[in-house]
Amino acid sequence: MLRSETGKTIYLNINEVYASIQGEGLLMGLPALFVRFQGCNLRCPWCDQPSALPFSKEQSVPIDSLLAHLSEYPIKHVVITGGEPLAQEGLTFLVEELISKGYFVQIETNGTLWQKGLERFAEQLHITCSPKWTANWFVHPKIIQYAKELKFVVDDVLSQDVLLKEEFRRLLEEGKVVLQPEGNKLVFFEKALNLQTALLKLGFTVRVLPQVHKLFGIP
């Protein structure tokens, strides 16, 4: 079994593992293996994965068992999500093993946390950061540095001022900001289009994208 520097077997607190397509963000439509960690440091009222919020070790899985399970699929794109992946102690070990085995690794995070060990692989990762108003839009500087895209849930709270915050400017200028209507609701789709138009007038192009997997009723 894979072991940490202390010699202990590495266990991961997993909510679920499944194959599907990436239904959100700039990599939408790609076949992917999802590893959903258990436990999140935030409590967003519209969270669509409430079962993954509590920190629990009831589904603790040895990392080598997880890797063996993933190897049964032909898919080489792994999406690490949650919960909040960066709240999990074994994340760096998992990322290192996945990269060494040739996987493309995407991490979906609320952006509030960072693990120093990830800096060795950060340039190889596709970090999708979804800033949250429940954290006052705070994003850790290292996440800002390495993120490949920002994905904002468009709800009653999100505003143009948030999207124009200085720390988000690089990704906004690079066209790597996604507006995702909360719950695929029409009212938030219309709000997203209005935000898109307002930003376009300022010289910024953002994408309005739904959760496509939910449109088709797949995981």
**In the chain, what are the domain boundaries?**
11-215
Give the integer Cα–Cα distance in Å for 33 and 19.
4
pLDDT at 117 over 60: yes
Give the residue-averaged pLDDT of 102-110. Answer: 98
Q: How confident is the model at residue 14 (pLDDT cuts 50, 70, 90)?
A: very high
- The pLDDT score that the predictor gives to residue 2 is 67
More confident call, 58 vs 6: 58
Give the residue-averaged pLDDT of 194-217. Answer: 97
Q: How confident is the model at residue 57 (pLDDT cuts 50, 70, 90)?
A: confident
- The pLDDT score that the predictor gives to residue 166 is 98
Which is it for strands 31-37 and 11-21: parallel, antiparallel or unpaired?
antiparallel
pLDDT at 173 over 80: yes
Give the residue-averaged pLDDT of 32-55. Answer: 96
- The pLDDT score that the predictor gives to residue 7 is 54
pLDDT at 36 over 80: yes
Q: How confident is the model at residue 207 (pLDDT cuts 50, 70, 90)?
A: very high
Amino acid at 37: F
Quote the DSSP letter at residue 10.
P
Give the integer Cα–Cα distance in Å for 152 and 192.
10
| CATH architecture designation of domain 11-215 | Alpha-Beta Barrel (3.20)
Mean pLDDT, rounded, of the chain: 95
Q: What backbone torsions phi and psi does residue 33 show, to the nearest 5 degrees? A: -100, 125
Helices (H), the chain: 63-70, 91-100, 141-146, 160-163, 169-173, 186-201, 212-215
Give the integer Cα–Cα distance in Å for 136 and 18.
32
Q: How confident is the model at residue 74 (pLDDT cuts 50, 70, 90)?
A: very high
- The pLDDT score that the predictor gives to residue 91 is 97
pTM for the whole structure: 0.95
